[in-house]
Amino acid sequence: MADLKERFAALGVGVPDMYLPAPGVDYARWAVVACDQYSSEREYWEKVAADVGDAPSTLRLIFPECYLEDSDKAERVGRIQAAMHDYLAKGLVKALGPGFVLVERYTPFEKRPRIGLVMAVDLEAYQYGKGVTSRIRPTEGTIVERLPPRMDIRRGAPLELPHIMLLVDDAARSVIEPLYARASELPSVYDFDLMQGSGHIRGWHVSDQGSLAAVASALEKLADPAAYKARYGNDQVLLFAVGDGNHSLATAKAIWEETKKAGASDPRIMEHPARWALVELVNIYDEGLPFHPIHRVLFKADEAAIMADIQAAGAEFRPMPWADAVRLTDEPAGSEHRFAFVSAGRSALVTFRRPSAKLAAGTIQEILDAFLKKSPGTVIDYIHGTESMETLARKPGNLGLYLPPIDKSSFFGTVIRDGVMPRKTFSMGEAPEKRFYIEARRITR
């Protein structure tokens, strides 16, 4: 195992000792969706709270972002950390032993399951910011102003629960798929239906030396600088790209830097568990992994003013039924950038014939950012689901912009060549397909 540990460490990977619910805990009420989903739909989280009741649940260990602007933020953070200590003290979560968890996730929207591997990554191998060349990199811009509330939760918390999903560019399907092909030989750790009609999930513990060695070998081939340079013309290997949970991983990094600085005189500080973060790794070529754009909804917006700004930036508005505008936005547009516009009273296709930005999200975000700076009463939200976006945008005083699809086959090449994408460019699936909190890991000694 010592040799394997060194091989994984060279890749920026760790073999974590994960925690799972103790026998008798209802997994269906334990697991809840990522905290950054349904951020403008409190009714969703209220329904989750009603379904969970008094049962042990990750709902009590996370901070749903729809409550971030409430006045009881500090009290909520305190309750979250207290619940973590309570669950540990009562034995409601139990250590699984060193290893990975192989995950099969069926969702309501895809015919094939999404296959992932829950592991730990070394935050020393991850950087965020402009022009980074670390082995683990963000794919979207990181807004440092969004980190403090997340840092408040992680700072002093005994556990982390991941909704971070990293992507690996594995066209040969060499890392995760061989494990899945023999999943029946691995110890099962969970198998249950997810709440709110979000599908079904199964997990297996990957702890035997042979399986771990096979994963290490496959990752080593992907991380080989010569092979990487032959493919991309660049030897600054991007092994893992952040797909979901960009700000959560940045939060873990920020807390690790704090911890490292505070423990500078401790000879064992580099072995501190806060150096690592729990993630789920998914192959970008996985057939159960859809890429969807993230849409924009403006609240309390001056519709005429925003339409004028969009037109002034070079856009054409073509009024048409909402379904038609969405269909045309989803179709290949060549060099054009298209968006479907919707409000309480109208819908239209918005077209930029000669956009200056490389991606459609960059074209529209620049306009929206400028509009928000001069409109302090207007608020923006980033919506993952098509249905949720239309429902919110149709309400009086709101308006929405539906963005075109993302080509995942060129994803790694775009990040390597151009750097991070505009923030909130893509989403891996609709809101119910997002990662559910199940596994946990200790981040304190």
- Point out which residues pair with 95 in neighbouring strands: 19
**pLDDT value of residue 377:** 94
Residue-wise pLDDT for 183-205, tens only, equals 999 999 999 999 999 999 999 99
Mean pLDDT in the chain?
A: 94
- The span from the CA of 321 to the CA of 323, in Å, is 6
Q: Which helix (H) or strand (E) holds 335?
A: none
Residue-wise pLDDT for 238-288, tens only, equals 999 999 999 999 999 999 999 999 999 999 999 999 999 999 999 999 999
Residue-wise pLDDT for 72-124, tens only, equals 999 999 999 999 999 999 999 999 999 999 999 999 999 999 999 999 999 99
**pLDDT value of residue 2:** 63
What is the CATH number that goes with domain 292-405?
3.30.1760.10
- The span from the CA of 189 to the CA of 19, in Å, is 11
Mean pLDDT computed over 389-393: 93
**pLDDT value of residue 1:** 60
Asked if residue 426 lies in contact with residue 381, where contact means CB atoms within 8 angstroms, the answer is no
More confident residue, 4 or 424: 4
More confident residue, 274 or 144: 274
103 Cα distance to chain centroid: 16
**pLDDT value of residue 256:** 98
Among 11-15, 165-169, 219-223, 228-232, name the one with the lowest average pLDDT.
228-232
- The span from the CA of 397 to the CA of 411, in Å, is 36
DSSP 57-88: -GGGGS--GGGTTSTTHHHHHHHHHHHHHHHH
**pLDDT value of residue 28:** 98
Q: Considering the chain, what percentage of its residues have pLDDT values greater than 70?
A: 100
**pLDDT value of residue 156:** 86
Q: Is 343 exposed, middle or buried (0-12, 13-18, 19+ CB in 10 A)?
A: buried
**pLDDT value of residue 339:** 98
- The span from the CA of 138 to the CA of 418, in Å, is 12
- The span from the CA of 426 to the CA of 294, in Å, is 5
**pLDDT value of residue 414:** 80
In the chain, domain spans: 2-288+430-442, 292-405
**pLDDT value of residue 341:** 97
Cβ-based neighbour number of residue 424 at 10 Å = 22
Residue-wise pLDDT for 303-343, tens only, equals 999 999 999 999 999 999 999 999 999 998 889 999 999 99
Residue-wise pLDDT for 8-57, tens only, equals 999 999 999 999 999 999 999 999 999 999 998 999 999 999 999 999 99
Question: 362: which 2 tokens?
Answer: 């960059």
Query: How are beta strands 114-122 and 100-106 bridged, if at all?
Result: antiparallel
